[in-house]
Amino acid sequence: MSSRSAPSRDARTSPGPGRRRRQRTFTKRSSVAPDPIRLLHVIHSSAFGGGPAMVDLLCSRLHGHGFDMSIVSSGEGELPARMSGLGVRVTSLPLATKGSFLRHLPQLATVIRRERPDLVHLHGHFAASLGQFAVLAAGRPRTIYSAQWPAYLDDVDAYSRVRNWIAESLSCRLANRVVAVSEHDRQTLIRRRLCAAPKLTLIYNAYDPAKFPDPAKFPDVDADSAVANGTTLGFVGRLVDQKGCDVLIQAMPKILAQHPQASLRVVGDGPERQRLEDLARRLDLGRAVEFVGYRPMSAAVMRDIAVVVVPSRYEPFGIVAVEAMASGRPVVASAVGGLSEIVADGRTGLLVPPGDPDRL
């Protein structure tokens, strides 16, 4: 899935308020190659997930091709080592929690001053709301905010709704450009008066086609007959409440009642793993559910899965659904957020209400 648009030239080149910066000219032809655009990515966590996957893809494709990339992240996962191997400068700071992010704002400002970026790309509302203070302290280079996980997704009560509205509004107001990863989120940001429409750009998340074979080479898959013949349902993702793996496990007894040979493979890890394993035991699912842990996303992960299930309770985008279809696999997904835009119901997969094991 390719990007539909890109940040404007102004977002790349205009100086921040109160700061003189060298001007770039892209229209005048010259025998001398222009300096690369210095772009610093800030993401609070580099662990497995959609945000780090997008940083990986952007850096691996753009670094050295007109861009000089650098990253600040919490340092966990495979991203730092992989990016360092490509020549991308990586700085690790403990940014994974709000408290830790706040305590390390001075260090983040120091990194921004050292890197002298033309652009700072802030991924997620942690980086955008808190990181903007470091950007201001560093002289305010231009910023792009990718709303990979808007703050309102963390609303649980009246207090959190007010707090998250302030955080998301601050993120959008201070950024020079805001990127929504689905039309659903773009409309939500406008409807909640968090971001003005002219500042918003819709750019769907992308996947790396080099990791997946041509889906046209896959034979057609009939999901019903595949499950009946004992092939595998697959869940791929972080084991957190938002991803809804528990809903899928709760659906397994009914699936097995109709298709006794079916099985479920859970690919991923996270804080909910023990609870999910306990749930599978309580439902007496035995060998019908297999937890295999984290695997880097590739066609190999999908090879032994007949139908990919994405039962998220809410989802800004849902890159796993795209990667499943890139592997020639049908998808059953919750009708939430970006998933409703990715999956064509009845054509490339099925959409079901979230949080409902019976409908799933």
DSSP character string of 55-79: HHHHHHHHBTTTEEEEEEE---SSH
199 and 281 share one domain? no
Encode pLDDT of 319-340 as tens digits.
Answer: 999 989 888 888 999 999 999 9
The answer for residues whose C-beta is within 8 angstroms of residue 225's C-beta and 6 or more apart is none
pLDDT tens string for the chain (360 positions)? Answer: 444 444 444 433 334 444 444 445 445 555 566 899 999 999 988 777 778 888 999 999 999 899 999 999 988 778 888 898 999 999 999 888 888 888 999 999 999 999 999 999 999 888 888 889 999 999 888 999 999 877 777 767 788 788 888 888 889 999 999 999 999 999 999 999 999 999 999 999 998 888 877 766 665 555 555 555 566 899 999 999 999 999 999 999 999 999 898 999 999 999 999 999 999 999 999 889 999 998 876 667 787 788 999 999 999 999 999 989 888 888 999 999 999 999 999 988 999 999 999 999
Range of the domain at 221: 213-352
26 and 173 share one domain? yes
244 and 190 share one domain? no
Distance CA 10, CA 27 (A): 13
190 and 244 share one domain? no
Centroid of chain to Cα 33? 33
For residue 233, the domain's CATH number is 3.40.50.2000
Q: Indicate yes or no: pTM above 0.85.
A: no
CA angle (301, 304, 305) in 5-degree steps: 85
Count of structural domains, the chain: 2
Q: Is residue 3 part of a domain?
A: no
Q: Is residue 4 part of a domain?
A: no
Question: Do 118 and 95 meet the contact criterion of CB atoms below 8 Å apart?
Answer: no
Q: Is residue 152 part of a domain?
A: yes
Nearest to 315 by CA among 340, 351, 292: 340
232 and 168 share one domain? no
Encode pLDDT of 88-138 as tens digits.
Answer: 999 999 888 888 888 999 999 999 999 999 999 999 888 888 889 999 999
> Which of 159, 189, 206 delimits the end of a domain?
206
